Amino acid sequence: MMTGYITSAQMKQGSQVCITAMIAIVDDDESIRTALENLLRSSGYQVRSYCNALAFLDSSGPAETHCLLSDIQMPGMDGVEMHQRLVAKGFDIPTIFITAYPEAAPCVDASAVGLITCLPKPFDADKLLSCIEAGLRQPR
């Protein structure tokens, strides 16, 4: 039996896997969170969502998350600062930033620990799933 995280590609192949990856969503827009939850659950992932960065940081989420999807611009703490705090605390979580403001993407340091990409909203579901799968393959 294969062990590790399950990806949507493995599900399509019918692989047996022990651990289903936990994907965390941090976005202040409830409709985005709901749409992402539905997409990811239908792809076989476990999902937890948070309405802001502090809710995620104050939870057990950072220790349980295998891949993080975060909006960049949110009230209070933005996604970039949240990512920096995670790295400072020793969490190396593959992270995909999503944003409705593509002009905000250049402020994201592409060499940041664990950063996979920054996707503008709306984004293609297959592209997002491919990015998640790439993140789950990264050594941690």
> Using 50, 70 and 90 to split pLDDT, how confident is the model at 121?
confident
**pLDDT score of 138:** 82
Set out the domains of the chain in order of their start, with CATH numbers.
21-137 (3.40.50.2300)
**pLDDT score of 18:** 41
Please give the Cα distance from 82 to 66 (Å, whole number).
16
Query: What does the pLDDT look like over 51-101, one tens digit per residue?
Result: 999 999 999 999 999 999 999 999 999 998 999 999 999 999 999 999 887
**pLDDT score of 36:** 97
**pLDDT score of 1:** 26
Residue 61's Cβ-count burial label (10 Å; 0-12, 13-18, 19+) is: buried
Give 54's contacts (C-beta < 8 A, 6+ positions apart): 76, 77
Q: What is the pTM of this model?
A: 0.84
CB 53 within 8 A of CB 81: yes
Tokens of 42: 């239908």
88 φ, ψ (degrees, to nearest 5):
-60, -30
Query: What does the pLDDT look like over 26-52, one tens digit per residue?
Result: 999 999 999 999 999 999 999 999 999
